[in-house]
Amino acid sequence: MRYPIFLLLMCGMLGAPSNADEPLIATKNQISDFLSHHCADCHGSDDAAGGLDVTRLTLADLDREGQMLEDVLRKLRTRQMPPVDVVRPSEDEYNHAIDGLTIRLGEYAEANPNPGRPDSLRRLNRTEYQNAIRDLLALDVDAQSLLPPDESSHGFDNVTVGELSPTLLSRYVSAAQKISRLAVGSALRSPGGDTIRLKPDFTQEEHVDGLPVGTRGGALIKYTFPQDGQYDIQLRLARDRNEHVEGLGGKHELELLVDNRIAAQFTIRPPRDQDHSVVDAYLKARIAVTAGPHDLGITFPKNPSSLIETMRQPFDAHFNMHRHPRISPAIYQVSITGPYAGEGPGDTPSRDRIFVCRPEGVAEEPQCAERILRTVMRRAYRRPVDDQDLAGPMAFYTRAREAGGSFEQGIESALSSVLVSPQFLFRVEQDPADVEPGQVYRLSDLELASRLAFFLWSSIPDDELLDLAIAGTLSDAEVLEQQVRRMLSDVRSTALVTNFAAQWLYLRNLESITPDMRLFPDFDDNLRQAFRTETELFLQDVMREDRSVLDLLQADYTYLNQRLAKHYDIPHVYGSRFRRVQLDDQSHRGGLLRHGSILTVTSYATRTSPVIRGHWILKNMLGSPPPPPPPDVPALEDNSVSADQPIRERLAEHRANAACAGCHNLMDPVGFALENYDAVGRWREMEAGRPVDASGGLPGGSVFTGVAGLERGLLERPELFVSTLAEKLLTFAVGRGTEHYDGPAIRAIVRRAEADQYRFSSVIMGIVSSTPFQMRRAE
């Protein structure tokens, strides 16, 4: 009998056919006969392993069937096809089938390149806007206070950013006016002000990193003062629900510092008549500050203290009057008002960046204004500017001067118009006039420069990158590689960690995570921020040292401070400073899957979730998430099963449901491997009075116990993790979700990285050199 060639390939029995027109299907009777004997569960089922209609596949029309073929290839690579409960091919047979299908798909993609088509207009999102202002004007602003959050799509917030509503435009206009005034240093009609409020669950009993040694609590605030002058600093202390200052059991000293120098000192005492409204009424000082960025510190000199004698180890968290009250007073908010008696804009980094010339007289002002604006606009618009571009901002400058404003006020007005221009707010990629619809073309060097800068820096290109793009040499392979390596070594590439990885790994979700205080009373914002810092420093280490990206999965070191080390039960780490710590096997720490940040964002407030953890690994580590649950499947009811039961037994309800079993049998075993970590990432040996059962498995039938076994399972086939990382990076780089036609490009990136031991830079270079990054399809 002549079996369907594709089914043989799918079950690992043959490679791909040599003839592109050779059919991959046979008659329906032949298919049914084959399926009934060899691969019955690969056809006609709706579960994650067999939901593909293989009877439709032909190799003669890969464009039409590309989506399904890529789905099949993905399931073969992750061993989700055929299901684990049928006779499965050997590893050699799997690899033979995968290689054959990969080669044919790659050959088709090379002959018929399809780079996809990101939106022609893509607005700068909030992070990109903040970084662009920093690099354009040498000014640090808080975009979260200026602009609303961006919608996320395909896991990132730089994808669905094509629209600009009237409300959002109004926010951009207000932001542009505030930023241009701050950058130029124009005088305000009346003193302005800002209030910075500390998080309510921030414990202030120990040293805060960046503040002087020997102090405790408080805050270090990076603040840009608009002008030289006098500023009022008003401090408020944290209070309980009875409006009593918390932790006020005696006399306490308080210091106000500017750039680590004491600017004012206060003494805090308990009120005699229990009127706590007067305790911090006088915590106000008027201090002289020069314009520009400064570090404003508020802190308490630490009083000597003895160990608290308790039957149990005392908690580190102190912020709640009922469960863990503050031991000492704490800062609640800081208000900054001014300037009073302003003495001018002073000499600031932003003014040095903007004013590339200074007119000697009125006659020189228009020429100098043009030079200033051309310089700013070239960087802001990411391209050369002509007289037509200059006309609009110069009209704003002229109008301000004619209204009686100074030269600098004219520049401020013109700068505001630049910051609300679509040429700045939007990344524009237009099809060339001579390109036919559907035709594939290469991006211009200027468009390539913008893609590169927003990918690696989440910001605008610098002058060197723009110069090469204008000269038309950036697209040269050797020049492009030099620029990528230069940009990766620049501090701005930290955006790959703080922006890309924060979304890929769900680190942003930490801000909204608050575990149940009754079950996890030692969780506070200090621990939350330590979680994030550990993961960010670990990622930066792999990136800066250009290590293998596989080190993200398995490492014998991490970054800790005292607070986090104590949470992990790792001794001999003291102080608020994070440092690299070498680990032994008994620490149970190392790669990403052992980080408190990952373990916490994949848990519920009251317990762990093997389902969420398993889904997170399948999606973000293996790139093969199960399909969404059916709409009529109820959520797991915690009160339907005894809370005294381990989570494995409590989840058995879903695995027993036929509608749920297909996906839960994929997710749950992966998540069970992490059950030795509780909902806030602490190691545990017991759960509900029983030893923790951390036995688990990966799709394809491999079984293991614990996180170490899970890491080994992932590293046995490193191409899956690297493919997933490359897919996430490509989505972030081009600003669209990956499609089936991106599969060959992603596999080429992985092959290139494999030849260089999967070094981080080789993955990045593969992305930048790929067809989806350098090309575009006309509409």
Q: What is the DSSP string of 248-316?
A: -SS-EEEEEEETTEEEEEEEE---TTS-GGGTSTT-EEEEEE-SEEEEEEEEEEPPP-PPP--SSPPPS
In this prediction, residue 34 carries a pLDDT of: 31
With H, G, I as helix, E, B as strand and everything else as coil, classify residue 622: coil
Residue 274 has pLDDT above 50, yes or no: yes
Global confidence as pTM: 0.90
In this prediction, residue 312 carries a pLDDT of: 61
DSSP string, 48-62: TTT---GGG--STTH
pLDDT digits (tens, 9 = 90+) for 310-348: 556 677 888 877 778 899 999 999 999 999 988 999 999
Distance between CA atoms of residues 766 and 759, nearest Å: 11
Residues 50/27, Cβ–Cβ less than 8 Å: no
Contacts of 321 (CB under 8 A, 6+ apart): 240, 241, 246
Distance between CA atoms of residues 510 and 501, nearest Å: 13
Distance between CA atoms of residues 355 and 371, nearest Å: 9
Tell me the C-alpha to C-alpha distance, in Å, between residue 59 and each of 5, 65, 104, 601: 10, 8, 9, 43
Give the Cβ contact number of residue 430 at 10 Å: 11
Share of the chain above pLDDT 70, in %: 88
Local confidence band at 664 (pLDDT 50, 70, 90 cut-offs): confident
Taken in order 421, 423, 425, 431, the sign of the CA dihedral is: positive
Residue 40 has pLDDT above 50, yes or no: no
Local confidence band at 564 (pLDDT 50, 70, 90 cut-offs): very high
In this prediction, residue 682 carries a pLDDT of: 97
Q: End-to-end alpha-carbon separation of the chain, Å?
A: 47
In this prediction, residue 21 carries a pLDDT of: 45
219-230: average pLDDT: 96
In this prediction, residue 315 carries a pLDDT of: 77
In this prediction, residue 585 carries a pLDDT of: 85
Residue 52 has pLDDT above 80, yes or no: no
Q: Which amino acid is at 54?
A: V
In this prediction, residue 699 carries a pLDDT of: 86
pLDDT digits (tens, 9 = 90+) for 54-93: 444 455 556 677 888 888 888 888 888 777 677 778 888 8
Distance between CA atoms of residues 447 and 426, nearest Å: 12
Give the Cβ contact number of residue 63 at 10 Å: 11
